Amino acid sequence: MQLQSATVSDFASDYQGKLCVLGCFDTLCASSFPVVHPQCSLAVRLIFQPEDAGTHEFVIRCLDPDGAECMPPMPAHVEVAFNSTFIPFVSRNIIFTLQRVKFERPGFYRWLLVHQDQTLATIPLRVTQFDGSRGATGPAG
C-alpha cells in the first residue's frame, strides 16, 4: 500500500474513481476564537498492489495544539480486490466532508491517517488569529 495524497480542502469527491479536490489549504484565519469553519473535506488517495487485496481499516484522528483528540475518530474501511492478473495496482479514495468544525483556539492542528496502529500521513492545519495590519499580500495571519 502506498499513500498517493492526503489533504484538507474546501471540497472533495470521488468521481468514478477519480479524486476531485478543490481548494487545498493548510491555514485558517479567524477574527476571534472559538471559531467554527462551515465546511471542509479531508481527501486521501491510496494505491494498493495485488498483495494488499482484502479489507483495510483506517481511522482519521484530529489532534489539537496540545496533541489531544479534539473530535471523534473517523473510521473508514476500504475493500481492495483484483479481478485480473493484468492489473498491476488499484487506487482507492477516502473522503470525509466535515461540517461546522470548531477550533477552540489558535495553534497547529493535525489530522492523522492511521492504519494498523501506524500513522501513514499527517495533514497539518495552522489555525491563526487574523492580523489586519499584515495586509493581504503576505502569509495568512
pLDDT tens digit string along 65-101?
999 999 999 999 999 999 888 999 999 999 999 999 9
Query: In whole angstroms, what is the distance from residue 132 CA to residue 43 CA?
Result: 31
Q: Which residues of 1-12 are buried (b: 16+ CB within 10 A; e: fewer)?
A: eeeeebbbbeeb
The 10s digit of each residue's pLDDT in 10-64 is: 999 999 999 999 999 999 999 999 999 999 999 999 999 999 999 999 999 999 9
31 Rama sector, left if φ>0, alpha if ψ -120 to 50, beta otherwise: alpha
CA torsion 76→120→28→65, rounded to 10°?
100
C-alpha cell at 63: 489532534
Residue-range domains of the chain with CATH: 2-130 (2.60.40.2550)
The burial of 123, by beta-carbon neighbours within 10 Å (0-12 exposed, 13-18 middle, 19 or more buried), is given as buried
Q: What is the mean pLDDT of residues 109-134?
A: 92
With a cut of 90, say whether residue 138 has pLDDT above it: no
Maximum CA extent, the chain: 60
